[in-house]
Amino acid sequence: MELQVGGQNVSRETIESLRAFEALVKRWNAAINLVSKATLPVLWDRHIVDSAQLFSHLPATAQHWADFGAGGGFPGLVIAILARGAGRDLRVTLVESDARKATFLRQAAQALGLSVVVVNKRIESMESLQADVVSARALAPLDALLEFAAVHLREGGTAIFPKGARHTEELTAARAQWSFDVDTHSSQSEPGAAILIIRNIERAKQN
């Protein structure tokens, strides 16, 4: 039986894995602030569905997805669950500087049977991951995210950044420092928000 989450057709087993992940987040959130307490009652829609919609933008040939500021596993662990359910051979690297959150990510991945790599470092201190896809959710302004993407994407890679209602302002600000191609998709989970699919990132030529 096919079910849907974030616009993806998924199996019952995938839904069960996502529900198990949801329960883990709720259990750990009392000790570690993985998500805002205000969003706990709507965690499925606000965080899991919001993360799941990014999976549809995974390029067909991508083999390595790196998620920055992975925090509570959004979108990184959601992507890993969906990739497994879809039979995609996708390596997922979760970068998180907070040691407690990195511990949660490792233990959640183990509990869910996911093969992911958790890196407990600051993004700025890492050598290039040469990822096919990089993502970050609620981490930093777009110009800062493009700095990370320029370092950690392989040539021809794709950055996938969900952004809120002020995404057009962030795009304008980022273009002062960066040259890039962008496709903007409306968010399925938050009115006015968008998913930015960005490629060909280069520093803007200064006049």
Q: What are the pLDDT digits (tens) for 29-54?
A: 999 999 998 888 899 999 999 999 99
- Longest CA–CA separation in the chain, Å: 58
From 32, 41, 47, select the one nearest 104 (Cα to Cα): 32
Query: What is the model's pLDDT at position 7?
Result: 77
Task: Give the Cα separation of 49 and 51 in Å (integer).
Answer: 5
What is the pairing mode between strands 131-136 and 91-95?
Answer: unpaired
- In angstroms, the Cα distances linking 106 to 111, 114, 119, 143 are 9, 9, 10, 29
Query: What is the model's pLDDT at position 207?
Result: 57
* Mean pLDDT along residues 74-103: 97
What order do you get walking across the sheet with 91-95 strand by strand? 116-119, 91-95, 64-68, 131-136, 153-163, 194-203, 178-186
Query: What is the model's pLDDT at position 188?
Result: 87
Task: Check the annotation: does 123 bind a ligand.
Answer: yes
Evaluate whether 47 touches 37 at the Cβ level (below 8 Å).
no
Residue 104 in this model has a pLDDT that exceeds 90: yes
How do residues 138-188 score in pLDDT, each as one tens digit? Answer: 899 999 999 999 999 999 999 999 999 999 999 999 999 999 999 999 998
Evaluate whether 82 touches 11 at the Cβ level (below 8 Å).
no
Tally of domains within the chain? 1
Task: Check the annotation: does 147 bind a ligand.
Answer: no
3-state secondary structure of 190: coil
Task: Check the annotation: does 137 bind a ligand.
Answer: yes
Q: Where are the alpha helices (DSSP H) in the chain?
A: 12-29, 43, 50-52, 76-85, 99-112, 142-152, 167-174
User: Using 50, 70 and 90 to split pLDDT, how confident is the model at 5?
Assistant: confident
Phi and psi, residue 198, nearest 5°: -120, 135
User: Using 50, 70 and 90 to split pLDDT, how confident is the model at 67?
Assistant: very high
From 148, 122, 124, select the one nearest 135 (Cα to Cα): 148
Query: What is the model's pLDDT at position 153?
Result: 98
Residue 4 in this model has a pLDDT that exceeds 90: no
Expressed as residue numbers, the domain containing 54 is: 3-203
Task: Give the Cα separation of 49 and 102 in Å (integer).
Answer: 22
pTM as predicted: 0.94
Task: Check the annotation: does 69 bind a ligand.
Answer: yes
CATH number of the CATH domain containing 134 = 3.40.50.150
Query: What is the model's pLDDT at position 2?
Result: 54
Which comes out higher in pLDDT, residue 9 or 173?
173
